[in-house]
Structure 1
C-alpha cells in the first residue's frame, strides 16, 4: 500500500495521520530537485519527516540528469530519506510546458539518463529508487511500456503506473488493462497500480484484474485516512471495518488539525485544513450553513465549537463512497515547442529547472 504524493496534501501531518491506520509507504509531497539542491527554505520545510516515520519516502521531480543526481546525492550524504520516488506523472500545465512530469517519458534517452543518475547516486547507500509515470501524453503518444522497460533496465526498484494519460488528467476512468500490460512487460521488479482506488474492494479488484504487486492510493484517501486500515484488512483477508460514525470522523479531523498546528503553527494550519473539510464531511447531513463555517475556520477553538455542533451518532453515509477530490475534464497537454519532433533527443528542456515544488 502506497500513499501517492499529492501537492499540498501529503505533508508530515497527513502522512502521520494515515500511518496510524496501517503499515505502508507514505510518500511526501513532490519536491523539485533543483529547489532541494539549492536548499530553498520552503522546500527544506516540506521534507520534514516525523521521528517515528520509517521508511522516510521522498518524491523528486526533475528534468536534468545532473541536477537529479546531485539531489539524490544530497539525500544520501545528509540522510534525508530512506527511499526516493521519481515523478514522471504530473499532468499540470506549469510542469508539462517545461517538458517535465508526464511529458518527459516521451523523450526516451533523457528519461533513461535521469533515472540512471538517480539510481547511481542512491545505490552505494542502498536507497531504492522507484519511478511513477502515466500511460502517455495522450492516446496518440503512449509511453508507459517504454518507460517501464527503461526504468527496469536502469535499475529502478519498482515502477508505478497511473492508468490515465496526461490529457485525461483525473477525468474519466483509469484503464487498468494498461497496468496488466505493464506487468507483462516488466518482469523483474514490482509493478504498482494507481487510479480509481476509492475503497478496499477497488484495491482487491485491481490486483485480481491486473496482477500488480501493490496499489498506490491518491484521491481515495482524501478525508478518509482510515482507508489504509480498510486496505490492510482486505489484503489480510479479514473483514473490512464499517465506515466511522460522524463522531469518529470529528475526532480524526481534530487530530489532523493538531498535527498541522505542530508543523505550520495555528494560523497557517487552519487555513490548510479548510480544503479538507468537504472531504471529511462528504455525504454527511451537516447542513449548508455549518458546512460553510467549517470551510472558513481560523482557529482550534472555533473548530472545537463547530465539531461540537455535529451529531456524533450519524452513521457513515453510503454516498460518501466513490470518487472524491479533483476530477476536471480532459484537456490538450501543454508541451514545449517541437517537443514531439524527436523522442530520442536527450537535450534538457530550456528553462525547465524551475524552483517550484508541488504540482
Structure 2
C-alpha cells in the first residue's frame, strides 16, 4: 500500500542531518542505550536518552553517569536534561559539552508526572516565563556548537496554555528545534492529541524546525500529522513500545515507500530476545536485565495469541536460558494481525489536576519565595 502526502524534507537539528525526520521521545525506564540501539537496528532518526536530572549529573551520581553513557554505535548521541535551576542546568550542559558526552541536548519541559510538576518542573515550568527563558538561554549559550532543543506540552491546562510564548522564547534564545506534545499536563496521556495546536505553533515559530508529538501509533499517523500540521518532523513515544521496527516503517514512509514491517510471532520473539541481550550488556547483570525486560512483555506480544500461561511465565523470566526455552515454545509461524496489534500502546490514564507548587498559577513570573524553593528542591540528586 502506498500513501501519497507532502512529506517534509530531510531534517537537520543544527549541524546534525538526520536520515529520517523522526525523533525517539525520551521515556523513563525505556529509552536506555539498549532500547535505543535496538531501534537503530530497524530504522533511522534521532534517539534521545532517558530524562537526566541536572543536579544528579552535576553531582555525578553513579546511576546518572551510567544513564548518559552511549554505545560506540550510537551516533549522534542525544541526552535529555531536566532541571529547575538555570545555574545547575548550565553546569550540567557544561559537563556534556566539555567532556564530549553528547552531540545533541534536549531540554524537558513536557513531563506531566506529579513528582516533577509539583516542584515546578517539566510541563509546569514554561508558565513561569522568566524561569523558562533563563534556563533555555543559559543552556544554549553554554552548549556552544552543540544544538539544544526544547520539548514541551501545550500548557498546564486549557486555562493556562504556554506553548506559543514558550516557542517564541525558545526560538529567540537560539534553540535548534522545538517539539510540541499536543496535550496539556492536566490531560497527562488521556484523550486525543491536539494536532491543531501543533499546526499553530508551526505557523508561530518560523526560523527553526518544529516537531510534532502525540498519537503516532504507526507510520501513516506520522504522514497524517505532517499533512495536517506542516511540521518538519515527528517525535514518537508510546507508539514504539514493543515495536522497535516502527522506526523502519517511519523511514520508509517518509521516503515515499509503502513497505511496512509486519512481523510474525517468530520475528517478535527474536526482537524481544535481542532486547534482553542488549539489556544484559547495558546493566552488566543478567538478573537485572531479565527483571527489566519483563515490563516489555505486554507491549511486544500485544495481539498475538500466545496464551495467558506463556505471558505470565515471560513476565517472571529470570535468565536468558529460561527466556530461550519460553520463546522456543511459541508458534513462530503465527502471522501479524493488524486489528489486534496496531493502535494505542501504553497506559493512557485519565485527566487529572496537575500537582503544582503553592501559588504557582498566581502569576506567570516567579516570586522570590518560589525562586528560593526551586533552588532548594534541586538538592534532590536522583538521576533519570
Matching of residue 312 in structure 1 with residue 332 in structure 2 = yes
Alignment of 1:281-292 (within 5 A): 281-292=301-312
Give me the whole-angstrom Cα distance separating, in 2, the residues matched to 1:242 and 1:26.
Answer: 20
For residue 22 of structure 1, report the CA deviation from its aligned partner.
1.7
Q: What per-residue deviation string (whole Å, max 9, x for no partner) do you get for residues 56-100 of structure 1?
A: 000000001100010101111101100000000000000000000
**Counterpart in the other structure of 1:352:** 377
Alignment of 1:73-112 (within 5 A): 73-112=94-133
**Counterpart in the other structure of 1:45:** 66
With over 3 angstroms needed to count, the CA separation of the structure-2 counterparts of 1:91 and 1:326, relative to structure 1, is same
Matching of residue 279 in structure 1 with residue 299 in structure 2 = yes
**Counterpart in the other structure of 1:217:** 236
Matching of residue 142 in structure 1 with residue 142 in structure 2 = no
Matching of residue 330 in structure 1 with residue 351 in structure 2 = yes
- 1:198 maps to which of 197, 201, 217: 217
Q: Which runs of 5+ in 2 are unaligned?
A: 1-21
For residue 342 of structure 1, report the CA deviation from its aligned partner.
1.6
CA contact (8 A) 1:266 1:299 kept: yes
| TM-score normalised over the length of structure 1 | 0.98
Give me the whole-angstrom Cα distance separating, in 1, the residues matched to 2:364 and 2:235.
Answer: 28
- 1:227 maps to which of 239, 243, 246: 246
In angstroms, what is the RMSD of aligned CA positions? 0.9
**Counterpart in the other structure of 1:240:** 259
Q: What per-residue deviation string (whole Å, max 9, x for no partner) do you get for residues 208-251 of structure 1?
A: 00000000000000000000000000000012224100001111
- 2:87 maps to which of 63, 66, 76: 66
After TM superposition, where is structure 1 displaced by more than 6 Å over at least 4 residues in a row?
none
For residue 355 of structure 1, report the CA deviation from its aligned partner.
1.9
**Counterpart in the other structure of 1:7:** 28
Matching of residue 16 in structure 1 with residue 42 in structure 2 = no
CA contact (8 A) 1:28 1:47 kept: yes
Q: Which runs of 5+ in 1 are unaligned?
A: none
Compare 58-67 and 342-351 and name the one that shifted more: 342-351
With over 3 angstroms needed to count, the CA separation of the structure-2 counterparts of 1:348 and 1:233, relative to structure 1, is farther
CA contact (8 A) 1:64 1:348 kept: no
- 1:164 maps to which of 183, 191, 195: 183
CA contact (8 A) 1:99 1:349 kept: no
| TM-score normalised over the length of structure 2 | 0.91
- 2:137 maps to which of 111, 116, 119: 116
Give me the whole-angstrom Cα distance separating, in 2, the residues matched to 1:201 and 1:86.
Answer: 28
For residue 352 of structure 1, report the CA deviation from its aligned partner.
2.6
Give me the whole-angstrom Cα distance separating, in 1, the residues matched to 2:93 and 2:246.
Answer: 31
Give me the whole-angstrom Cα distance separating, in 2, the residues matched to 1:94 and 1:54.
Answer: 32
Give me the whole-angstrom Cα distance separating, in 1, the residues matched to 2:91 and 2:383.
Answer: 17
CA contact (8 A) 1:88 1:131 kept: yes
Give me the whole-angstrom Cα distance separating, in 1, the residues matched to 2:321 and 2:165.
Answer: 53
Q: What per-residue deviation string (whole Å, max 9, x for no partner) do you get for residues 120-143 of structure 1?
A: 1011xx100000000000111000
Give me the whole-angstrom Cα distance separating, in 2, the residues matched to 1:299 and 1:117.
Answer: 46
Give me the whole-angstrom Cα distance separating, in 2, the residues matched to 1:217 and 1:80.
Answer: 23
Give me the whole-angstrom Cα distance separating, in 2, the residues matched to 1:220 and 1:241.
Answer: 15
Secondary structure, aligned partner of 1:340 = helix
Secondary structure, aligned partner of 1:53 = coil
Matching of residue 181 in structure 1 with residue 221 in structure 2 = no
